């Protein structure tokens, strides 16, 4: 199992916490129209975990019980050092809780965003781990179908972990156009046959995405990049790209074999494993096969009162102050504090969240956000120090929905986090630019200023 941090990664000071079974829920790590991922702590062992929360009503509405049960059962059986581990599954009357490994090293692509492209040996090491994970899951009949930057995480020891294997395609079923789009708002990593939407081989499509990822690791930019969507599709369909001169000849040859637009002639993973460039310094994964019980997966759809996997969400008394953010959390968030780069064009990555700090009182921050959001056509719902902004107009992917939360970093300093909860990511980017105009007088620091000054000089005095 990967090393997870023991230094409180998200369940913070202040009251108003929620308990689910033996887990205490903390801050939201990610949010979508179909599921939410929260940080949580096992109160019996103090181990940190991530919990994916699915809405039962949506699962039933879209007739997805069979698919979810299959995917979760398979994921529980997967025990691989390069795949995020699933520990257990629980359910309440309205929600399904999938308890997963929590890793602290951030996204692999943060390394490129901050330090630039990787050297060939470093890129090969991560690519080998990625192929190990993908090959193992394919051997178990599980296909990712949506490999992209935010699904590639690093643990504390810099070991690559692929997240959302087997679960990534679940929300796709409810998409109106039936395409397997990447949720970050760009199809740059998706195989041409997936864009064509004529049925495709999951293994071949996953390998194409791995090829794009390898290119980005070594180049620092995308192989296919166009501002016009149709022009981008044409480039992907023709595999129209060129490798930079610093790629070795053998790396270029392998990438060209992977990024073959014809899935029938595209190289297979078995052939990649035998490739000379790939095999350099290769270390096969070491792991043990364990006996795994699937009782909890069956129980969550059973609803018999005796099941230990049926839980109740218990809320403790409500908070009268914003949740306190400790030094560890502040530092772990620092890589994502750059407001200036909501849109990382080079990597085809569109940020789904952003933050700023303010010296204003929490109540004043809430009022200012409400005053700025309403004229932009957003309905505002308040719940203590959290806000839900819901767009009245229908956008490219439905109504834009934004979750906002205020954290206390120090007695006179607050951090405000805004996350896209639904709708189009590029529309979120545009909305935030408009909103920030109305927040000028309460924003104290943003972007790299927060990273440099607040984390480096202020962390010692942050309340924990």
Residues that are catalytic: 146
**C-beta contacts of 337-344 below 8 A and 24+ residues apart:** 337/446, 337/447, 337/448, 337/450, 337/451, 337/455, 338/447, 338/448, 338/451, 339/436, 339/446, 339/447, 340/446, 340/447, 340/448, 341/113, 341/447, 342/429, 342/432, 343/426, 343/429, 344/113
- Give burial (CB, 10 Å; 0-12/13-18/19+) of 264: exposed
Residues paired with residue 324 on neighbouring β-strands, in sequence order: 13, 408
Please tell me the chain's helix, strand, coil percentages from 3-state DSSP, rounded to the nearest 5.
35, 25, 40
Instruction: Give the integer Cα–Cα distance in Å for 1 and 101.
Output: 8
Instruction: Give the integer Cα–Cα distance in Å for 187 and 341.
Output: 19
Q: Using alpha carbons, list the distances in angstroms from residue 225 to 186, 239, 240, 412.
A: 10, 11, 10, 44
User: Does the annotation place 234 within a ligand binding site?
Assistant: no
Instruction: Give the integer Cα–Cα distance in Å for 181 and 396.
Output: 13
Please tell me whether residue 44 adopts helix, strand or coil conformation.
coil
Closest-CA residue to 208 (of 172, 248, 261): 261
Give the helix/strand (H/E) hosting 298.
Answer: helix 295-299
Token duo for residue 384: 């203590």
Instruction: Give the integer Cα–Cα distance in Å for 463 and 324.
Output: 7
Please work out, in degrees rounded to the nearest 5, the angle formed at the alpha carbon of residue 285 by the alpha carbons of 281 and 289: 165
Closest-CA residue to 200 (of 131, 261, 132, 136): 261
Instruction: Give the integer Cα–Cα distance in Å for 448 and 13.
Output: 26
Please tell me whether residue 105 adopts helix, strand or coil conformation.
coil
Token duo for residue 359: 């010296």
Q: What are phi and psi of 308, to 5 degrees?
A: -70, -10
Binding positions for ATP: 52
Binding positions: 52
């Amino acid at each position: 199992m990967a090393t997870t941090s023991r230094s409180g990664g998200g369940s913070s000071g202040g009251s108003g916490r929620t308990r689910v079974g033996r887990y205490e829920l903390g801050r939201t790590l990610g949010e979508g129209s179909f599921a939410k991922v929260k940080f949580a702590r096992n109160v019996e062992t103090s181990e940190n975990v991530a919990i994916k929360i699915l809405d039962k009503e949506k699962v039933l509405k879209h007739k997805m019980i069979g698919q979810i049960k299959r995917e979760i059962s398979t994921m529980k059986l997967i025990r691989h050092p390069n795949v995020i581990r699933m520990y257990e599954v629980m359910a309440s009357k309205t929600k399904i809780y999938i308890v997963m490994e929590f890793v602290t090293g951030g996204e692999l692509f943060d390394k490129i965003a901050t330090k630039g492209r990787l050297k060939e040996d470093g890129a090969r090491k991560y690519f080998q781990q990625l192929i190990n994970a993908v090959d193992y899951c394919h051997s178990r009949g599980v296909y990712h179908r949506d490999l992209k930057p935010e699904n590639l995480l690093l643990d504390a020891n810099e070991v690559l972990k692929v997240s959302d294997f087997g679960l990534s395609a679940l929300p796709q079923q409810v998409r109106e156009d039936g395409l397997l789009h990447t949720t970050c708002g760009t199809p740059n990593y998706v195989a041409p046959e997936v864009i064509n939407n004529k049925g495709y081989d999951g293994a071949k499509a996953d390998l194409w995405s791995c090829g794009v990822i390898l290119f980005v690791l070594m180049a620092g930019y995308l192989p296919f990049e166009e501002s016009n969507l149709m022009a981008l599709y044409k480039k992907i369909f023709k595999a129209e790209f060129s490798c930079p001169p610093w790629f070795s000849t053998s790396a270029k040859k392998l990438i060209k074999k992977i990024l073959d637009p014809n899935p029938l002639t595209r190289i297979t993973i078995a052939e990649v494993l035998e490739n000379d460039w790939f095999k350099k310094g290769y270390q096969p994964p070491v792991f043990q096969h364990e006996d795994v019980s699937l009782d909890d997966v069956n129980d969550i759809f059973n609803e018999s009162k005796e099941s230990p996997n049926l839980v109740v969400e218990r809320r403790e008394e409500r908070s009268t102050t914003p949740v306190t953010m400790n030094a560890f959390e502040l530092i772990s968030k620092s890589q994502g504090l750059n407001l200036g780069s909501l849109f990382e064009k080079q990597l085809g990555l569109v940020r789904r969240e952003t933050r700023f700090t303010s010296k204003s009182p929490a109540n004043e921050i809430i009022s200012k956000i409400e005053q700025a959001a309403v004229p932009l056509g957003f309905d505002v719902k308040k719940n203590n120090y959290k806000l839900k902004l819901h767009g009245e107009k229908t956008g490219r992917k439905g109504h834009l929905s934004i979750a906002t939360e205020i954290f206390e970093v120090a007695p006179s300093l607050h951090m405000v986090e805004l996350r896209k909860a639904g709708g189009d990511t590029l529309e979120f980017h545009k909305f935030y630019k408009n909103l920030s105009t109305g927040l000028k007088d309460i924003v104290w620091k943003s972007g790299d200023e927060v990273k440099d000054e607040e984390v480096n000089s202020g962390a010692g005095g942050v309340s924990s």
